[in-house]
Amino acid sequence: MNTCPYCGKQQQKKNGYTWKSEYYGTIFIPDVEYLQCECGAEEISNEILKKVEEEQQRLCSKLLLQRLNSFDDINHQYMKNSELVAKLGKTRQAIAKNPLIKRKIFNIVLFGQRYYLRESVELFLRTGDGRFPLVSRANDNSNKYADSKASVSHGTVDMADSIFQAHLAPRP
């Protein structure tokens, strides 16, 4: 048994990990083990974090696709890279290399081309963070990692903030 670095009590092995994302809803990763203490602290492997990240990317693509009612909606709800370049006043190369833009603006690849959600771009321009909940809290999209087989390219999500908050941190 491992000892909790926060309270010194023994940690218990748990099977199946649940992650609550404010942007994508509840994500469940089955058949993985992690350690949890009575105080709420968890010790999560990099394997689990990678699976959570993959599932967040899959859900981002799925939820962004669900916003489209027709192909005409693509040009109304999304913008191409050339329009993003004009809005941000940066070069294509600067946008491609900027991790802040990649992580903080919802985007999806359709027909081999990256599209940026207009609503997310506008929010990014106002606040510096274009992310917002893609699911309502009342209508959470609980899922199972084992069932996910995305058929589209993944949108970019921000895991860097989440990883450091999750690893060995007490959960509310």
Q: Is the pTM of this model over 0.85?
A: no
pLDDT of residue 54: 92
CA angle 47, 146, 1 (to 5 degrees): 40
pLDDT over 70 (residue 147):
no
pLDDT band, residue 158 (cuts 50/70/90): very low
For residue 113, the 8-state DSSP code is: E
pLDDT at 31 over 70: yes
pLDDT band at 136 (very low <50, low <70, confident <90, very high): confident
Over residues 53-98, the pLDDT tens digits come to: 999 989 999 999 998 888 888 889 999 999 999 999 999 999 989 9
Find the DSSP H helices in the chain: 46-66, 72-77, 81-88, 92-97, 99-104, 118-127, 160-166
Mean pLDDT of 49-54: 93
